């Protein structure tokens, strides 16, 4: 069985929500909630929080599971890569699969993590796996802030877009076909370390790094889940997530 590690990238500065990982949800920092949820995934041998901030590291009630990374990391994937380099060489090599878990997803379902890991374990032709869920509201389908995905008959991604896909000639919304991408990624470690950083993208207008993988001819396995739990993007999302936590 391939060993998997979970890494939660978390940065202190955010344009829309400064110090977001430290936001209190039911009295505890959001990053702690996310860490504890990820630790419930049975497929992960270990879970680390990768952060550029000693304050965030101190907020995690598991000091041995925090890794300080560079402030220069341009995105979450770069921070995950930096964290892998912080690990002991032999320890890093012992993991075949690396799961990038968003730090602002305190309601992340451990089963979804396990499903992403299993998707890579079951299909050696894929280098990545990620999640998608049905879109039921037309406003979500048309929102550029929600990434959509279309797949082939084998659940391999064909394309990701901020626009509504698939789209009919009359631009009508088709709820049974429109799928929302959920930003939880499982990578083969060898691909993430040796190949992914070298990939270049032509699709700068979409600003979606997973398109670099498809453009280079690699396969991304899509795992369908019934729905996506809301994350914390803006300060106004905190109360909504807290209500779900206390149900």
3-state secondary structure of 214: helix
CB 235 within 8 A of CB 17: yes
The CA distance from 179 to 95, in Å, is: 31
Report mean pLDDT in 10-residue bins for the chain, 247 residues.
Answer: 90 88 95 97 97 95 91 91 85 89 96 98 97 94 93 97 88 85 96 91 75 94 93 91 91
**Tokens read off for 180:** 């929302």
The CA distance from 105 to 53, in Å, is: 19
C-alpha torsion 162→165→168→171, nearest 10: -30
| Domains parsed from the chain with CATH numbers | 1-108 (3.90.550.10)
Amino acid 147: pLDDT: 94
Amino acid 92: pLDDT: 73
Amino acid 172: pLDDT: 83
H or E element at residue 185: strand 179-188
Amino acid 177: pLDDT: 85
């Amino acid at each position: 069985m391939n060993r998997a590690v979970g890494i939660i990238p978390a940065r202190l500065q955010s344009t829309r929500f400064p110090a977001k990982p430290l936001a209190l949800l039911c009295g505890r920092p959001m990053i702690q909630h996310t860490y504890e949820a990820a630790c419930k995934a049975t497929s992960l041998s270990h879970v680390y929080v990768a952060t550029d901030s000693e304050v965030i590291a101190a907020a995690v009630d598991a000091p041995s599971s925090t890794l300080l990374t560079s402030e220069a990391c341009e995105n979450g994937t770069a921070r995950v890569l930096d964290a892998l380099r912080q690990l002991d060489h032999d320890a890093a090599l012992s993991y075949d699969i690396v799961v990038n878990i968003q730090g602002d997803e305190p309601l992340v379902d451990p089963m979804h993590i396990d499903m992403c890991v299993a998707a890579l374990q079951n299909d050696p032709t894929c280098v990545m796996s990620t999640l998608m869920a049905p879109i039921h509201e037309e406003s979500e389908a048309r929102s550029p802030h929600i990434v959509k995905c279309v797949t082939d008959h084998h659940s391999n991604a064909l394309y990701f877009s901020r626009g509504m896909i698939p789209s009919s000639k009359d631009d009508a919304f088709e709820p049974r076909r429109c799928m929302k991408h959920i930003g939880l990624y499982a990578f083969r470690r060898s691909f993430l370390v040796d190949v992914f950083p070298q990939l270049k993208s032509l699709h700068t207008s979409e600003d979606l790094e997973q398109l670099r993988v498809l453009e280079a001819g690699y396969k991304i396995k899509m795992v369908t889940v019934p729905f996506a739990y809301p994350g914390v993007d803006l300060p106004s999302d905190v109360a909504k997530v807290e209500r779900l936590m206390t149900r």
